[in-house]
Amino acid sequence: MKGLILAAGKGVRMKGLKGSKCLLPVRGTSLLERHIGRLLGMGIDDIIIVVGPRGGDVVRHARMSSAGARLRFAVQPAPAGIADAVRCAVPLLGKDDFALCLGDEMFYGDRPMEMLRFFSETGAHCICGVVPGEPAEEIRKCYTVMTDNQGNLLALEEKPRQPFNEFKGTGFCLFRAEALGPLGVLQPNPESGQYELCDWVAACIGAGLQCKVFAFAEREFNINTREDYENAEKYGRQEPESAEKNNSVGSAEEMGGLP
């Protein structure tokens, strides 16, 4: 399995930011370093990072923060959505399964090893990490998921006006190589003009691939604004140190009944 970190975002809504959002330190450690560390902790040392045309700062930081990892880089020429960024990395992904990380996400109480085991045991083609118990205003920043009672994904909606439930979708997802097939024929979203993650996963479902959700973390912060960044820092200061460590999440019942 390979790791794929998307770090091409410019952070245009972060006033005063110089460089990539993924280089922002949360509790003293950059988001990029956290993603690399998470992947290494999962036993994934072959890591691809997608950067923008001026992503030299990301490349340098990654190389200084990746002891034990084999790093390779792909370039997304222009911002055209998450699925487009993944498509830029397809030649490097080859025919391997992969873990997808968004460079601007911060997690507390994440459990990547349990999600990896679930991926292996179920044989699903895609597992989307979700955060249970989130208010509607938080889910509207990301995406909402509809599932059956087996945790199979039935539908997704990006930035929904009315979320399906209290599960907030995240960018941490595990994919089989077969999921790249629907990506190759994906069309831009008619509203955003972008190649969206939700549209890609929906295309996988439409192609007959099995997609599931997994209660991945206690909290997720998608850092797009200065307020998002400050909230991620504030939450970290309020929580015990164990909330940052993997495997700190409770039972399936405590996580909303999902695996």
* CATH code for the domain in which residue 115 is found: 3.90.550.10
Q: Is residue 130 part of a domain?
A: yes
Is residue 58 within 8 Å of residue 130, measured between CB atoms? no
Q: Is residue 53 part of a domain?
A: yes
Q: Is residue 199 part of a domain?
A: yes
Q: Is the pLDDT of residue 251 over 50?
A: no
Q: Is residue 162 part of a domain?
A: yes
* More confident of the two residues 253 and 259: 259
Q: Is residue 103 part of a domain?
A: yes
Q: Is residue 193 part of a domain?
A: yes
The total number of structural domains that make up the chain:
1
Q: Is residue 258 part of a domain?
A: no
21, exposed or middle or buried, with CB in 10 Å at 0-12, 13-18, 19+? buried
Q: Is the pLDDT of residue 220 over 50?
A: yes
State both tokens at 105.
């996400």
10-51: per-residue pLDDT in tens?
Answer: 665 565 566 788 999 999 999 999 999 999 999 999 999 999
Tell me the one-letter amino acid at 83.
Answer: A
Q: Is residue 252 part of a domain?
A: no
74-133: per-residue pLDDT in tens?
Answer: 999 999 999 999 999 999 999 999 999 999 999 999 999 999 999 999 999 999 999 999
Spell out where 82-232 has E strands: 98-102, 105-108, 126-131, 143-147, 153-158, 168-175, 211-215, 219-222
DSSP label of 166: S
- Domain residue limits at 208: 2-244
Q: What pLDDT is stored for residue 65 in this prediction?
A: 83
Whole-model pTM: value is 0.92
Q: What pLDDT is stored for residue 259 in this prediction?
A: 76
Q: What pLDDT is stored for residue 244 in this prediction?
A: 54
Q: Is the pLDDT of residue 245 over 80?
A: no
């809504």: which residue's tokens? 13
